[in-house]
Amino acid sequence: MPRFADDGRVAGTEVRELLVPGPWTTPSAPFTSRVAFAAAHVVPHVGAENVPGAPAVVDWDTTLAYRHRLWEHGLGVADAMDTAQRGMGLDWAATQELVRRSAAEARTVGGRVACGAGTDQLDPAVVAGWEPGDTAALAAVTDAYREQVHVVQDAGAQVIVMASRALARVARSPEEYARVYDAVLAEADAPVILHWLGTMFDPALAGYWGTGEDVAAATDVFVDLVRAHQGRVDGVKVSLLDAAHEKDLRTRLAALDPAAGGPVRLYTGDDFNYPELVVGDGRAHSDALLGIFAAIYPAASTALGALDAGHPDRAHAILASTEALGRHVFAAPTYYYKTGIAFLSWLNGTQPAFQMVGGLQSGRSVAHLVALVRLADRAGLLLDPDLAARRTRAFLEANGAAA
């Protein structure tokens, strides 16, 4: 394997014998100590025109087979999320089909599935022309949310109310955010998950909740929204990569009046600090809705099994052994993390080619992906070392980096 200088030139090589996979287990019964979703990616047909700007052409058999792996490992599937390239290659037509197919497959195995409902069917060119505070634009955002909520509900999946680029464009104040979310949550026929996605994942969401860059004020708005609709909120997914903020928010959610609608879970979306947040401190913990769990599902499943068996130290050790890989996959620019998840999927033989819808396989450098191989190997997550070695060698040869 090559080693790269700072300027990108090959500066040496390393002969590496890949390790055997970790001692991973699959559960014989549903997990009870945590609720955990893995946010899954999509796999394209290798011969289709999945280039930037083209409609997504998804290999449904391979995409759904990946979800069955997650269910087999006891994880719920969070589908049609940013990991599935919402807003980065997966268009609304393909998203609707993904939601329907994934929900139908979940029913065949009794798997849990929750799907994202957003506003990305709105024409970006039209949204770009909106002025902040435009009441007609706010109504269009509300209607777009409603449409997607009904698609998810009609498919039989739980709704995840995603953050909206269009809403971030047009809403000026917390009150305008609240009016839109009030109307959207009124459509929910079962408790939803509210998703707060940080700008490291999507820069277009800057100033979400109408408080500018004031995260503390935004958190107050968010908690007020949850309190106002507590009976319609199963939990919140927070993706700010800030463990201290998440712990504080977790405490505030735990303090909500249970008589007002039941407890509200915090599903961590922190792909940097998930070991400490999921395992917790013996008094409090987060549940999980994580993109990294789609990449490390054998380890995540084994760790959840250890938690169920009353072995938090072992669970933490397992998850901590994957933390360096997670931080690398989600390194800045974080919104390209999907590329690393698809690359690891290809190395492990769960997709036929290293390709993504929208041509997003070009989102990471060769050096980044070579480092990913080393970290996945160290974590015991190259599940077929011989196959991973062959595919790594082919990747290096195709990219002019082979020894």
**70-97 pLDDT, tens digit each:** 999 999 999 999 999 999 999 999 999 9
pTM of the model: 0.97
For residues 142, 145, 150, 156, the Cα torsion angle rounded to the nearest 10 degrees is -150
Confidence class for position 30, pLDDT limits 50, 70, 90: very high
Tell me the C-alpha distance between 398 and 395, whole Å. Answer: 5
Q: Residue 360 in contact with residue 338, Cβ under 8 Å? A: yes
Q: Are 99 and 117 in contact (CB under 8 A)?
A: no
Kindly state the DSSP code that residue 319 receives in the 8-state scheme: H
**Two tokens, residue 384:** 């077929």
Mean pLDDT of 253-275: 96
| Best CA proximity match to 123, nearest among 108, 140, 106 | 140
Question: Which tokens is 25 given?
Answer: 């287990």
Q: Is the pLDDT reported for residue 403 higher than 90?
A: no
Q: Give the model's pLDDT for residue 129.
A: 97
